A and B are shown apart, each in its own frame.
Chain A
Amino acid sequence: MLKDLFRKQKKYATIPTEATKNQVPEGIMQKCPTCGTILLSKEVEKNEKVCKVCGYHFMMTAPERIQSLVDDGRFFEYDSDLISVDPLQFPDYQKKIKQDMEKTDLKEAIITGEGTMDGYPVILGVMDPRFRMGSMGSVVGEKIARAAERAVQKRFPFILFSASGGARMQEGALSLMQMAKTSAALQKMNQNQVLFVSILTNPTTGGVSASFSSLGDINIAEPGALIGFAGRRVIEQTVRQKLPDDFQTSEFLLKHGQLDLVVPRLELRDTLVKILELHTIRG
């Protein structure tokens, strides 16, 4: 970590939204998977990727999410140099990483950095489910831990958007230990009374749900997100009974007291700004 102090950091840069927009594979039109309405892709994007008819939340990429949150799209990215290695020489892992890098134009499954929201400085972490299903390996764990450490140093709130299938199998026990590493870094934030807000988006499961994403001072989910510890199929095999329709959704978790809020994406930024403001004023 000490090395970071001496490393020359890049200046503020704007995330290339144009490039991302051009990548939308659906083309001009897309169909809402819930209500079946055919929607203009441009309209969907203008509406923060929410279906105008039924409110279905389409997947948001990490660059899109950051753009939708920070003031003037200005974002200073942390640790963008970190890339995965193949510590276990796991079958096909390197190939898959390379494919995902090309497909997404990302280096890993999370982007971390800082910006402001309505003038309030924040540290943001945003996972991208297109990259290895947003799974957490050594790089994801390291970036989250470093972001939390910076949050403590700078006393900036840390807002982390989860979208992940869990720990990354291809890095074995190293991935598992990232659960402990990230949680330990959040304990430092906790002890230093720095705000951590966890936003759970579709999907947040397994080792990610069982570590940092459940540890927010405030835990917020987007509507209709899949959130849970064990996979649905594993549970079905174990309990041999039909699972409730809303099982492991945001709404299910809210009902069972596992979340503070479920907030639609179009209201999310305002809610976050309110929370930031409430944590800035000291009585």
Chain B
Amino acid sequence: MSNYLPFEKPILELRQKIDELKAFTTEKDIDFSSEIDTLEAKAKHLETKIYGNLTTWQKVQIARHASRPTSVHYIQEIFQDFIELHGDRHYGDDSAIIGGIGKLNGIPVTVIAQERGKDTKDKIARNFGLPHPEGYRKALRLMQQANKFGRPIITFIDTQGAHPGIEAEERGQSEAIARNLREMAGFEVPIICVVTGEGGSGGALGIGVGNRLLMLEHAYYSVISPEGAAAILWRDASKAQEAAEALKITAQDLQKLGIVDEIISEPKGGAHRNSQLMAQTIEHILCKHLTSLLPLSQSELVEDRYQKFSKIGQFSSTAVFEGSR
């Protein structure tokens, strides 16, 4: 059962035992129903205990799970009449970022999403969800288009980071991300960003400047990968677990830091256990936030976003009457 992570083994074993007993009941016609009930109760209890107390590293493993639903799934399930639009008009079409228009509960929206790919072939084609500058520039073009036609923007963040490579540097990876940060700050339409899996640093933020930042329950969002931080701190990438704890990267951590506006609950064990339900929950919460943003005027939307980010940060002052603003 490759679908299970190491820390889920006790649950898996119990579930297997229950299945055996069930099979026994049907085959041998012996009634094990009371034993099954006891074990079911035990399994439920164990699930609550394990999934309710996940460590940061366990969450990272769920966020990176091979079967975790990706943006393609969410786009299919959540938006009606979706049309994918391609290309940055300067260099190429980066399939690590999907962009297009569709309807959310009947309202036309522009969707921008990082896509890591399903099978090996798809993953390679999409560069495992690591965008190049042309990906960010495609996103920018489509967001400008959304701004022009007054369409709200929904972004799905799921990347280990922007692609580190020679050509990416030559074509201005830094500039592409920086420009998106600045331009997203100025759009006069609602922007809602959802971190669905991995939020890898500047590469994630490059489509992440919104009025609302939402995170799935087991997603993470970090300034540096746990492995990268461990390599810098202790010159040992295998200490990623400790680095992950220290960096405070879970949705729950980011909510406490005043960065995340709402955490979207996942089905027990993670989004991959019930991807349909996950999509429905996301849709419901997106609609709720969009409804609250739609009444705002163009300038109110810009100011709302500006205030959101200008409040983020913690510092103190040596002056007497100054605190954090």
A residues adjacent to B (C-beta < 8 A): 1, 3, 7, 81-85, 87-88, 90-91, 107, 137-139, 141-142, 145, 167-169, 171-181, 183-188, 190-191, 206-207, 209-215, 227-231, 234-235, 238-239, 241, 243-244, 247-248, 252, 256-258
Q: Using a CB-CB cutoff of 8 Å, which residues 167-194 of chain B contact chain A?
A: 168-175, 177-179, 181-183, 185-186
Decide: A256 and B172 in contact? CB cutoff 8 A: yes
List of B residues within 8 angstroms of A207 by Cβ: 201-202, 223
The contact size tier of chain B is 35 or more
> Looking at the complex, which one of A3, A176, A238 makes contact with B205 (CB distance below 8 Å)?
A176
Interchain CB contact under 8 A, B201 and A176: yes
Q: Does B119 contact A (CB under 8 A)?
A: no
Complex Cα distance, B204 from A210, in Å, reads: 12
Q: Can you sample 23 A-B contacts with CB below 8 Å? A: A3-B321, A82-B317, A83-B315, A90-B246, A138-B314, A138-B315, A141-B313, A167-B224, A169-B233, A173-B249, A173-B254, A173-B257, A174-B257, A174-B313, A175-B223, A179-B178, A179-B202, A184-B181, A212-B178, A214-B175, A229-B173, A235-B165, A258-B174
CB distance from A11 to the nearest CB of B (A): 15
Q: Are B165 and A181 in contact (CB under 8 A)?
A: no
A187 touches B183 (CB 8 A): yes
Whole-angstrom distance between the alpha carbons of A215 and B186 in the complex? 14
A84 partner residues in chain B, CB cutoff 8 A:
315-316
B310 surroundings in chain A (CB, below 8 A):
1, 145, 181, 184-185
Asked if A256 contacts B170 (CB within 8 A), the reply is yes
Interface contact B309-A177, CB-CB below 8 Å? yes
- What is the CB-to-nearest-CB distance from B196 to chain A, in angstroms, rounded to a whole number? 16
C-alpha spacing A256/B172, complex, angstroms? 8
Among residues of B, the one whose C-beta sits closest to the C-beta of A177 is B312
A85 to chain B, nearest CB (A): 5
Question: In the complex, A282 Cα to B165 Cα: how many Å?
Answer: 43
Q: CA separation between A179 and B313, bound complex, in Å?
A: 11
Contact A228 B174 (CB under 8 A): yes
Collect the chain B residues with CB atoms within 8 Å of residue A185's CB: 310
Q: Is the CB of A229 within 8 A of B174?
A: yes
What is the chain A residue whose CB lies nearest that of B164? Answer: A230
Pick from B178, B208, B309, B321: contact of A210, CB below 8 A: B178
Distance in Å: Cβ of B60 to nearest Cβ of chain A: 14
Interface residue? B232 (CB, 8 A) = yes
Whether A179 contacts B181 by the Cβ 8 Å rule is yes
Residue of B nearest to A88 (CB): B248
A180 B249 Cβ-Cβ under 8 A: no
Q: Is B306 located at the chain interface by the 8 A CB criterion?
A: yes
A180 in contact with B248 (CB, 8 Å): no
Asked if A139 and B321 make an inter-chain contact with CB atoms under 8 angstroms apart, the answer reads no
Distance between Cα atoms of A191 and B313 in the complex (Å): 24
Specify which chain A residues have a CB less than 8 angstroms from the CB of B232 in the assembled complex: 169
Q: Shortest beta-carbon distance, B164 to chain A, in Å?
A: 3
Residue of B whose beta carbon sits closest to that of A212? B178
Task: Find chain A residues with CB under 8 A from B173 CB.
Answer: 210, 229-230
Query: Which residues does chain A contribute within 8 Å of B36, judged by CB atoms?
Result: none
Q: How far is the CB of B246 from chain A (nearest CB, A)?
A: 6
A239 near B166: Cβ-Cβ < 8 Å: yes
Given contacts A81-B317, A83-B316, A138-B315, contact A180 B181 (CB under 8 A): yes
Partner of A209, one of B174, B229, B248: B174
- Residue contact A174 to B164, C-beta cutoff 8 Å: no
| Other A-B pairs beyond A90-B247, A215-B179, 6, CB < 8 Å | A82-B315, A91-B246, A107-B318, A174-B313, A174-B314, A180-B185
Bound complex: CA A87 to CA B312 (Å): 12
Tell me if B223 and A238 are in contact (CB < 8 A).
no
CB-CB under 8 A for A172 and B174, given A83-B317, A184-B310, A235-B165: no
How far is B306's CA from A212's CA once the two chains are assembled, in angstroms? 15
CB distance from A261 to the nearest CB of B (A): 15
Q: Given the complex of chains A and B, what is the CA–CA distance between A280 and B192 in angstroms?
A: 39
